[in-house]
Structure formats: C-alpha cells, structure tokens
Amino acid sequence: MASNLLWKPDQDQIDRRNLTVFAKQHGFTPDEFPALHEWSITSQDSFWSSVWSFCDIVGDPGDTVITDPDTFPGSRWFPQASLNFSENLLRYDDDHVALVAITEQGKRVAMTYTELRIEVAKFAAELNDLGVETGDRVAGWMPNVIETVIAMLGTASLGAVWSSCSPDFGVEGALDRFGQIKPKVLVACDGYTYNGKTYDITGNVDNVAKSIGSIQHVIWCSLLGLRNDGFREIRKRTETMPDFRRLPFDHPLFVMYSSGTTGKPKCIVHGAGGTLIQHTKEHVLHCDLQRDDVLFFFTTCGWMMWNWLVSGLATGCTLILYEGSPFHPTSTALIDLIDEEAISLFGVGAKYIASIEKAGIEPKSSHDLSSLRAIFSTGSPLTHESFRYVYTSFKSDVWLASISGGTDLISCFVLGNPWGGVYEGEIQAPGLGMAVDVFSDDASSIIDTKGELVCTRPFPSTPIGFWNDPGDVLLRSAYFDRYPQTWAHGDFAEKKSVTGGFVIHGRSDAVLNPGGVRIGTAEIYRQVESIDTVKEALCIGQEWDGDTRVVLFVVMQDGRSFTQETAAMIRTKVRENTSPRHVPSRIVAVPDIPRTLSGKIAEIAVREVVHGRPVRNSSALANPDTLHYFESLEELQS
C-alpha cells in the first residue's frame, strides 16, 4: 500500500532549517537525508565533533571523540572532555524569558534567563552548605514547576546527581526508586492539584524521608501552604553566579527509572555529556528549535520527556511548564495555551491527540494557532487516524513529528526530519548518529517487514550503567543479550522502503503470537479505538490449549454499554482492516485499565493476572486497584 503524504515543508521553510545550514557545511543538500544519515553513523568522529561545534556546547571536547567504537557496550565518548550540564543550559544571561509555569488553576509565573541563573546559584549554594558533594544524589518528588527546574540545575551545577518522580507516586513507588540510590537531600512539595482536586502528600514525604536513612535534609516547596517553604528562604541568599563544576563527559547527571511493572524499577544512570549532546542534536537539528521559539511538552517529572524539555534551555528558547490535568478546567486547556503563550512547538502524548479527536474538538475552528509550526507526539504509537485528524481538524499547515525512543537512552531512536514529508502513520526518519535498523529473529536486517527495533553502533546517550550493577550484568541483559554487539530496544517495528520512515507496532514483550504469527498490539488498538462507543482498549495473549489466543479488554465511553453488537463490530473492523489472525477470540468489557505512573497501559501486568501469576510490583501502577477486574474472569475460562 502506497504511503499517504499529508504535508511537506516548502522550499523557504527548508532553506531556513538549522539542519540545512549544518548539512551544507558537510557537503549535503536537503534531498540527501539518507546520505547524511549514513555519513553520521559511519563517520562518528566527524559527525559528533561537528554537533559539538554547531550546537555551541560549552566546555572542552578534548582530542578524541570515541574510543573502542566497535565495542558495544564499552566504547567511551569524548574521554578527555570536561563540561557542566547546567552551564550549557544557562549559557544565556539576559532578559529573554526562559520559563513560563502555568497551573490548571490559571496561576502563571515567568522567569528570565538572568533570573533563572541567579536562582540556580542560590540553590546550588544552599546544597553546598548542606554538604552536597560531587556525585551525591538529590531526589525531587516534585510537580512540573519552576522550582523543580531550579533544583535540578542547581544539583547538576555542583556535579551532584538528580533523580525525580512526580508527586502522584505513592510511598512504595518513591521508596522503590529513591531507596535504591540513597539521596542525601530530598526536594519535595507539600501537595498538588489535579483535575480540580487538591492532594496533601506531606505524610508521604515524611514517611519516605524517615525510611531512607541517607536523607539528611528535606527542602520543601510549599504549594499548598502546609509546610515552611524552603525555596522562599533560599531566595533570600545573595549569590548571583552559579558554581559550574566542569567534569568528565560521562560524569553521572540523572538517574532515570524503568516502569518497574515486573519487579523493582531499574535505576538507569545517564551521563551529563551524552544527555547534553544528544538532546541538543535533537532540538537543533531534528526539531529545528530556534531562540525565538516557545517550546511546550505536556509531561510530569516522572517521565523522561521532562528532562528532554528542560534541555531546550540550551537553545535559549522559552519553555512552557504546565502542571495539572490536560482537560481542566476545560477540554481545550492545552490548546488554549498555544494562543495564550504563542507556542510554536507543541508536544503531547499520542493518547492526548486520540482523546481530543474522540471528543470532537476542532482546534482549527475554535483557535487562532498562527504561532504553531510543529506538533510532536510520543508515549505510544500515533495512529493513522490521529495523523489525519491533525491535518483535517487541528491545523493543515503544521509539521507533525511522531517521535520514539525511551528512558533507556533518554532520547529518540526515530523522530522528525525537518526536510521530509509527513506520511500517514509513519515516523519520519532515524536519528542522526543513530544506527537504527529492524532485525528478524536471526539478526538479519529487514525492510517492509515487522521485527525488532535495534541500534547496531554506539551512541553518546547509551546509559553509563545501572545503579548497583557490577560488571554491567543487568544492563547487558536488558539490551544486549539478544543480538551480539547490538542494542535491542524492545519495540516491534517496521522500516518503510519507499519513504525511509518507521512504524512502531507496540512493545516486543507485549507482541501477540497466535499460531506463531507475531502481531503488534498497536495494530489492534488502532481499529478498536476508532469505534466511537469505545473509550480505550488493552490486548493480551492468553495461553490456551497449547497456543495463544488474542484477548481484548475494552472500556466503553461514559453512558455506553458493551453489547454483542459492539463485539461483532469490533471483530468485523479488525478482520477487514488487519487479518483474521488479529481478531480477538474473547472480548471483555472492564470499568478501567491499569496504567504505569507515566501513563502507559500495563499490558504485561494484566497478562500476569489473567494467568494467575503475581504482579511483582503493583506500586509501579498509577491505579493498581484496577487489576482485580481481570482476576478469574469467567469469559476466559472456556
């Protein structure tokens, strides 16, 4: 089937792209993206050295770009370099607005780059007085507010390690994460507001602070007025210049966490240099981020997209931080921000786009949107229908870039191409410098066929390790056991021969295998969730009679009932638009579906419950009580 072209940039837009300037410096033109990408992965020294220069990374790169380039994992990037992450994000010192923080209640706070530098200097000095040293951990149990950015940048300026989760994490979820890394300081809010409801978490914070013996100090951010606000006291300090400690390229910057639904979350350690150069490459070359842009991404501090968003400060642009429900006080709360704040790059999860489509929202009719030039989507595969919706109902002249990567690499494997057209259902291109491919089970490169998304060569944001993982045993098991010298990402994917784009069909560990045929769950969700009466769905493979059968769970829209006619409609739509193998053997209506704390549906947890096996870490779920809906279902016993 031919790919459906929805939009492409005009020549004037292409001429003004950052990527065009960069490519011309190396002899490439805008019709040569495949050649540029090939150069970026075969000439790694030249490419990444050029990224350092082009993106004006502050620091000394040293003379060597990579050692042991054929050892993966095990190669080292910029082994002689020295830099400081915060120094790069605070390179500007002027009255340009750096951050605008907005809550669902309508509270708005703005801060310039100069003001941000001063607040970071004060916070870093406070940490220093509290005995925080290079390599110590500072944990943030915080919402998406300016204070969280200040705390992270202050931590990183000293060479300490930042790790955060959002305040909706429960005590067990926070202990599972912070308890492993033993922070010296905990930065925490007293509560938060979501969807019009206020939540006091002071008791949770006290519990965690007492349970983790390494925590010597708690710095409170009093959003509800329940505790003395430590940030208010810190602002009385007189420091004005941060102490930027330049450290090696692979000095630890962040500890990120896997979803943790199959056990305690893995603590993934990312280095300052790898995170910085990867993010700036993506922002400058793939997102075409300019200083006069206003960048927004709807995220919490428990998702890697928060770290990715904040790195946008390195370009000198303005970031919009939003805290609260995306649908409160109105269903167009985020879309309203586009006009109110002149947002030029608007990022959301794929589920958000599907939700406003189902709600019948037509932004192009209700909003001006003249500032908007790009929409980014991630978190789950963006369906063909959502691609079409963006161009028919959101804005017809906009660059829609679906992007995909993960916490594991704190960045993207596949994302936007500022030169290319947008094709329905496809991610535009592999990341520059990323040797992305799709493999069959026997490690053969395949095209126009579904297989495992892999990366065959080292990249700078490869984790520097897992916490407490001597010999990188867990890291190798997680990514490198399946194929020699190759990162297996865990996505079921397909590379398109005609466009060079990619399609993500779901997670490999959730792939269905009826009759030995591998099926991505996203293929089924696309069909089911296009039915108006269905709100959302979750699909698993149930071991049955020596094979696997497809079982579909659906949540109906409010006021709609699940009927045999609904089941027949689902089966017909799936059969006609996919294949008979995709048709669910059983369809069961449930009141709700479990999700991870980052908002992704928990297919593996449901699969374990259905098979009578324990879910090893239900605290990783935002709504673990929903698991009992899937226990001992009569519909699945025959």
Helices 44-54 and 272-281 pack at an angle, to 10 degrees, of 80
Write down the pLDDT at residue 258. 86
Write down the pLDDT at residue 260. 65
Instruction: Report pLDDT digits (tens) over 70-128.
Output: 999 999 999 999 999 999 999 999 999 999 999 999 999 999 999 999 999 999 999 99
* Cis previous bond, 329, omega within 30: yes
110 φ, ψ (degrees, to nearest 5): -120, 150
Output the average pLDDT for the chain. Answer: 95
488 φ, ψ (degrees, to nearest 5): -100, 115
Residue 109: count other Cβ atoms within 10 Å of its Cβ.
Answer: 13
Residue 604: count other Cβ atoms within 10 Å of its Cβ.
Answer: 18
d(CA 277, CA 47): 11
User: 3-state SS of 503-520?
Assistant: EEEEEHHHCECHHHCCEC
Q: Which domains does the chain have, with CATH numbers?
A: 12-434+458-479 (3.40.50.12780), 511-636 (3.30.300.30)
Angstrom CA distances, 151 to 75, 123, 225, stand at 31, 7, 19
CA–chain centroid gap for 534, Å, is 26
Cα within 13 Å of Cα(367), Cβ side: 23
d(CA 100, CA 90): 16
Structure tokens at 566: 């609904």
Rg value, the chain, Cα: 24
Q: What is the pTM of this model?
A: 0.90
Structure tokens at 348: 């959301």
DSSP H or E segment with residue 111: strand 108-112
Residue pair 491/453 in contact (Cβ under 8 Å)? The answer is yes
d(CA 500, CA 438): 12
User: 3-state SS of 120-183?
Assistant: HHHHHHHHHHCCCCCCCEEEEECCCCHHHHHHHHHHHHCCCEEEEECCCCCHHHHHHHHHHHCC
Structure tokens at 532: 């108006």
Residue pair 178/163 in contact (Cβ under 8 Å)? The answer is yes
| Residue ranges of the chain whose pLDDT lies below 50 | none
Name residue, tokens 């031919």.
2
With b for 16 or more beta-carbon neighbours within 10 A and e for fewer, the 405-431 pattern comes to bbbbbbbbbbbbbbbbbbbbbbbbbbb
Render 436-489 in DSSP notation, one character per residue: EEEE-TTS-B-SSS-EEEEE-S--TTS-SEETT-GGGHHHHHHHTSSBTTBEEE
Write down the pLDDT at residue 144. 98
d(CA 406, CA 378): 10
d(CA 411, CA 431): 10
Residue 222: which residues within 8 A CB-CB, separation 6 or more? Answer: 189, 190, 228, 229, 232
d(CA 152, CA 124): 9
d(CA 166, CA 596): 12
d(CA 445, CA 151): 44
